Amino acid sequence: MNAPFDAPAPAEAVELGALTGSLGFLLRLAQLRVYDQFFATFAGTPVKPGEYTVLWVIHLNPGVPQGTLARVLEIKPAHMTKLVQRLVEAGLVAREVPAADRRSVHLTLTEAGQAHLERHRATFLSVHAAERVGLTDAENAELLRLLGKLAFPTEAPCP
Amino acid sequence: MNAPFDAPAPAEAVELGALTGSLGFLLRLAQLRVYDQFFATFAGTPVKPGEYTVLWVIHLNPGVPQGTLARVLEIKPAHMTKLVQRLVEAGLVAREVPAADRRSVHLTLTEAGQAHLERHRATFLSVHAAERVGLTDAENAELLRLLGKLAFPTEAPCP
DNA sequence: TATTGTTATACTCTATAACTATA
DNA sequence: TATAGTTATAGAGTATAACAATA
């Protein structure tokens, strides 16, 4: 429609058309913004979202098999191997091969891992509040509910 | 591989705690699911979300400067350079250096680019319908509205 | 044979800095 | 000096395939 040839860009008014109604496009932009919030909040610390999430879930499920962790968090096994290796090298996670099934690896937090989790827990939870800037409590709750329906399609605990 | 969504083994009950209320976590899972939908829909075609989005916006804004495109779509300039190079090599996009500012690059679709966009337009729009499986029309509209508030934050800070 | 995890390779996206050529 | 774009490098995340050890 409006094709500026030689005219200087007015104010970067770019037509996006149906893109503004694209769930994938909006999810990407929203996630970029939320990630910016996360990294800004944890600036100066070694905390990264994927790693901290893994520590969080291991804490809540001590001894969880690595493969189960990968499936639940939808992290590919090959990636999970390297992620866990980093956490083990950092002294935060301990691996244990159970006698019952020596193929598997069960994960627990070390004391340093527990301390790391506790040290950043309040900040981690505060990010959830910062992320939703501009949304009312009701809007935030509804957004989480709708995203939950997309993220966990088989679970339907809302009668 | 064949099923649109893989049913998680019901025996793997893993406690996620506050993670289920984490906007970043839910955004990531929702985006993974939407991307799976996209790639399943475009299986067998060369269409990729980032590239098709760029073609889409160039079509709506012929002659758009590459840097403007990068800022609007929140794609880093270094990445945009390589993305556009691929599209130029594929014969879908033409670059033009305007005499008015020979530093900049203005982008337009070639005829092949137009044809490519048209050929996949219906499928691209159909993904938007498929993405929201499980949501009612009202829920989908509300989700898009709330994500839009996150994705396009108004410049009105609330002190 | 199937499963669990590992290694290896490759590709996308991101982050950063240094560089050019313009302005 | 500042801007637009490029090149280069590094890293994270993802997708595959092949593999070893175990079941």
pLDDT tens digits for B86-102? 999 999 999 999 999 99
pLDDT tens digits for A58-105? 999 999 999 999 999 999 999 999 999 999 999 999 999 999 999 999
Name the pTM for this structure.
0.88
Q: What is the mean pLDDT of residues A148-152?
A: 88
Of A21, A131, A132, the CB nearest to B128: A21
Query: Six-digit token pair at A39?
Result: 């990294």
Non-local (6+) Cβ contacts of A84 within 8 A are A54, A66, A93, A95, A105, A107
On whether the CB atoms of residues A37 and B158 are closer than 8 A, the answer is no
Measured between beta carbons, the chain A residues lying within 8 angstroms of B71 are 12
β-pair partners for B64? B107
Least CA distance to A18: which residue of chain B? B125
Confidence of residue B152 (pLDDT cuts 50, 70, 90): confident
Q: What is the mean pLDDT of residues A98-115?
A: 95
Strands of B106-109's sheet, edge to edge? Answer: B64-65, B106-109, B93-96
Confidence of residue B155 (pLDDT cuts 50, 70, 90): very low
Distance from the Cα of A90 to chain B's closest Cα (Å) equals 23
B interface test, pick of A146, A152, A158 with most B CB neighbours within 10 Å: A146
Rounded Cα–Cα distance for residues B124 and A22 (Å): 10
On whether the CB atoms of residues A29 and B152 are closer than 8 A, the answer is yes
Query: Six-digit token pair at A14?
Result: 């770019």
Query: DSSP per residue over A20-67, as a string?
Result: GG-HHHHHHHHHHHHHHHHHHHTTTS---HHHHHHHHHHHHSTTEEHH
In this predicted structure, what is the pLDDT of residue A129? 77
Confidence of residue B58 (pLDDT cuts 50, 70, 90): very high
Rounded Cα–Cα distance for residues A116 and A113 (Å): 5
Confidence of residue B159 (pLDDT cuts 50, 70, 90): very low
pLDDT tens digits for A34-46? 888 888 888 888 8
Q: What is the mean pLDDT of residues A105-124?
A: 95
Rounded Cα–Cα distance for residues B159 and B156 (Å): 9
Q: What is the mean pLDDT of residues B123-142?
A: 85
For residue B11, pLDDT beyond 80: no
Closest nt to residue A77, judged CA to C1': C5
For chain B, how big is the Rg over CA atoms in Å? 19
Backbone angles phi, psi at B147, to 5 degrees: -65, -35
Q: What is the mean pLDDT of chain A?
A: 85
Rounded Cα–Cα distance for residues A115 and A109 (Å): 9
Of B14, B60, B72, the CB nearest to A17: B60
Which is more confident, B16 or A129? B16
Q: What is the mean pLDDT of residues B113-131?
A: 88
In this predicted structure, what is the pLDDT of residue A153? 72
Measured between beta carbons, the chain A residues lying within 8 angstroms of B147 are 23, 26-27, 29-30, 143
In this predicted structure, what is the pLDDT of residue A154? 61
β-pair partners for A109? A93
pLDDT tens digits for A4-50? 322 333 347 899 999 998 999 999 999 999 888 888 888 888 888 99
Question: How many helices and strands in chain B, by DSSP H and E?
Answer: 6, 3
Strand C nucleotides with an atom less than 7 Å from a protein beta carbon: 3-9, 12-17, 21-23
Q: Tell me what percent of the residues of chain A surpass a pLDDT of 70.
A: 89
CA angle (A99 as vertex; A96, A103 as ends), nearest 5:
70
Rounded Cα–Cα distance for residues A76 and A78 (Å): 6
Q: Provide the 3-class DSSP secondary structure of residue B95.
A: strand
Burial pattern B113-150, b for ≥16 Cβ within 10 A else e, equals: beebbeebeeebeebbeebbeebeeeebebbbebbebb
Q: What is the mean pLDDT of chain B?
A: 86
In this predicted structure, what is the pLDDT of residue A117? 94
Confidence of residue B129 (pLDDT cuts 50, 70, 90): confident
For residue A1, pLDDT beyond 80: no
Q: Provide the 3-class DSSP secondary structure of residue B153.
A: coil
Q: Provide the 3-class DSSP secondary structure of residue B21.
A: helix
Q: Provide the 3-class DSSP secondary structure of residue A70.
A: helix
Query: DSSP per residue over B101-123, as a string?
Result: -TT--EEEE-HHHHHHHHHHHHH
Query: Six-digit token pair at A107?
Result: 């994960």
Confidence of residue A158 (pLDDT cuts 50, 70, 90): very low
Residue A87: name the closest of A60, A58, A63, A61 by CA.
A58
**Integer distance in angstroms from CA A16 to C1' D7?**
30
